[in-house]
Structure 1
């Protein structure tokens, strides 16, 4: 029980924190997309699935084939290890038109960021709520939030399985409290 609780804590922290910073970076580096939830704060919640698809923390997933399968010219045998590329899946033109582009108005409900089937993330509902609250709060409370360095200077960690930023330098003007 303790090992399971520890795993859940760690599994729920790093990917969610990485997702929030990735999502904020994606929005701040695309002013046209950032303007959408600023005009319609509810879009921060509705656009969450698109941000998960486009800027989610999962990069590569390892699985093992249960049975022999042929995919195109490739034969995968039962027991073979398979490395799944989430970015390729999330930009598949059969499912996402112009998949390389962030579009908060897109219906991205088919993304695989939380897995699928028996591998579906048990913490997905909590991660969605955390992401939605964080993004809605940032858009509402910091209307002038912006990157303090050019987007090209933002670097990512070298972890091949989790997309995360090494830092996200931002700036904003102080707001006077209302009241």
Structure 2
């Protein structure tokens, strides 16, 4: 499966580059990520729990950064094992383009899955991959550009069955 897209992030390119290389930022942005450990300047070990259709699996794997061109971009590749659920591997070319005070993050990604996950069908896998990518970029944008000081993200209001009465 192939995916590509762009995301505008309201931060300078250098700040976006730093966040893309910060394991703590990546851990909070990757859906289902439980841990990321940097093992060298270009390698990390990761653990994530993902649900794809009826299959929920814990993946452990390795992430490698290559073709580093700070702060313009890099290639990120990863491979993870999900036990009986199967495996996932893939990579993405990430480019950062300055746009005034903001940055446009462009990505071209390829992914491959095998095992039980592959039996779920391309439509379900593609849909899940696109949702995960969308979730990542939404979280990443918020992590790089937090709300202004004194403002907290809006919490959903809790109401009873009939409006505000309980």
Q: TM-score range by the shorter chain?
A: under 0.3
In proportion to residue count, which structure has more strand?
2
Greater RCO (CA < 8 Å, at least 6 residues apart): 1
In proportion to residue count, which structure has more helix?
1
When normalised by structure 2's length, the TM-score is: 0.24
When normalised by structure 1's length, the TM-score is: 0.23
